[in-house]
Homo-oligomer: A and B are copies of this chain.
Amino acid sequence: MAHDERRLEVLRAIVQDYVSTNDPVGSKALAERHDLGVSPATIRNDMAVLEEQGYITQPHTSAGRVPTDKGYRLFVDRLSAVKPLSMAERRAIERFLDGAVDLHDVLSRTVRLLAQLTRQVAVVQYPTLSRSAVRHLEVVQLAAARLMLVLITDTGRVEQRIVDTPVDIDADAVAELRTLLNAAFVGVKLTDAGDKVPDLLETAPPHLRGLIATVSSTLLETLVEPSEDRLVIGGTANLARGGALDFPGTVRPLLEALEEQVVVLRLMGQVDASTVLVRIGEENAHEALTGASFVSVGYGSPDRALGGLGVVGPTRMDYPGNMAAVRAVARYVGHLLAES
């Protein structure tokens, strides 16, 4: 029916107005600012239905309506058109990211860029080790019985670990070790590295076997576990922008959750590179994120997301804009990392 049609149109108008003004929106203002072709009284009837269905709510009796999480969800799923980025924004992305000298530089620029584009808190995940492959392994001798292993992945991450060896080793052994490790592991995905160890041990010269066992177990232990995933966070100043307007009470629990990283990492685990994931308010199933929405997407090639990035903000956010920004930045970062 044309009936339902208009009702959705009303919901869209409410979301748009509320996002831009931060005031509960009433029927009269709605009729004025959008040409819905009907009078405020009719809109009121529609609003009553929308409220009954749970898409909007009134903060108090004599106030306008505010979208609920469910309302935002419907808006995101059915009512929002992708908002193309402006030319200025596209240029900003290139200008910001070009000239980055290493992975850390790329990611910290990315997080600043995203924060600036969306005026929200930005979150960027390092390429997950578990999806990376070994590009090179370096062994540096620090002391007679102490080595530093440096792992370089094909995504540009560099990780280091100290290993204390049971016996002293000499420079020749270090060189041999380096050769063997690289022969065995280069090109291998970190998740598969464990499978290579038995082979390696078998073919290795006997005098190196103990050493190799020690070294590989350190590598596997510390590098393959998911706790090694890391985040860069920026734009937290944006949380303080709306004063107490945007978040109920205080931003403290949100800041804590962001610093904790675990919560965000779990959300990041669900992204892929082809669709922008939007989690709204309570959907986040974490107390501190109630009242917050999370817009994220994976970066990397579509078939192989290296990691995720996104923004966190109040549920009252510009979804189309933020989704567009997140996607555009993820694409650019994906290309950038594929090149190097």
Contacts and interface: CB of A to CB of B under 8 A. Distances in A.
A235 B236 CA distance: 12
Interface in A303-330: none
Contacts of A158: 150, 158, 160
Contact of A340 (B152, B159, B162): B162
A102 B237 contact: no
Interface residues of A, number: 37
Chain A contact residues: helix, strand, loop or mixed = mixed
A259 B235 contact: yes
A328 to B, nearest CB: 22
Contact of A140 (B152, B222, B234, B251): B152
A142 to B, nearest CB: 8
A150 B138 contact: yes
A240 B235 contact: no
A109 interface: no
A190 to B, nearest CB: 16
Interface of A: 101-104, 112, 135-136, 138, 140, 142, 148, 150, 152, 156, 158-162, 222, 230, 234-237, 239-241, 243, 250-253, 255-256, 259, 340
Q: Report the 10 A-B pairs with minimum CB-CB distance, sorted nearest first.
A: A237-B255, A240-B252, A237-B256, A136-B140, A138-B138, A102-B160, A237-B252, A240-B250, A158-B160, A240-B251
